[in-house]
């Protein structure tokens, strides 16, 4: 399990709603979800399955795949939200997220 580095500022996020399938390594369970926002370092996923901090999941989006670690989980108004940090992201995913980061910088949303 990774140790959080609280001295690093969070990466700029942009709202992006994408369907995602989460496959959790340890429990071998699968859940459907939708991303709420994304950055170069992670994603917030709305789903029905709450997993413990440190759980690793393969994330399958329509156009790319990634592996991410659950950094936090919360239930809000009956919905489970998982804050996930990317551990691995394929080339298409890196390009997708990079374009969002450029958009944020180009439009004054990021410093």
The tens digit of pLDDT for each residue in 52-105 reads 999 999 999 998 999 999 999 999 888 899 999 999 999 998 898 888 778 777
**Cα 111 from Cα 96, distance rounded (Å):** 20
What would the two tokens of residue 6 be?
Answer: 């609280």
Contacts of 52 (CB under 8 A, 6+ apart): 70, 73
- Owning domain of residue 91: 14-106
- Spatial CA neighbour of 2 closest among 98, 88, 65: 88
**Is 111's pLDDT higher than 70?**
no
User: If pLDDT is split at 50, 70 and 90, which confidence band does 107 have?
Assistant: confident
Q: What is the average pLDDT value for the chain, to the nearest integer?
A: 86
Q: What is the CATH number of the domain that holds 31?
A: 2.40.10.220
Asked if residue 111 belongs to a domain, the reply is no
Which element (helix H / strand E) includes 102? helix 91-106
Asked if residue 6 belongs to a domain, the reply is no
**65 located within any domain:** yes
Answer whether residue 53 is part of any domain: yes
Number of domains in the chain: 1
Q: For 105, phi and psi rounded to 5 degrees?
A: -65, -45
Give this prediction's pTM: 0.81
Specify the residue for token string 């919905």. Answer: 79
Query: Does residue 4 lie in a domain region?
Result: no
9 lies in some domain: no
Tens digits of per-residue pLDDT, 25-47? Answer: 988 899 999 999 988 889 999 99
DSSP 3-state assignment of 33?
strand
């Amino acid at each position: 399990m990774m140790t959080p580095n609280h001295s690093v500022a969070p990466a700029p996020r942009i709202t992006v709603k994408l369907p995602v399938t989460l496959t959790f390594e340890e429990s071998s369970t699968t859940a459907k979800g939708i991303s709420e926002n994304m950055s170069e370092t992670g994603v917030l996923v709305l789903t029905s399955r709450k997993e413990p901090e440190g759980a690793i999941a393969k994330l399958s989006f329509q156009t790319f795949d990634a592996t991410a670690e659950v950094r936090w989980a919360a239930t809000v108004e009956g919905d489970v939200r998982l804050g996930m940090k990317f551990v691995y992201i394929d080339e298409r995913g890196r390009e997708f997220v990079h374009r969002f980061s450029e958009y944020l910088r180009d439009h004054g949303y990021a410093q």
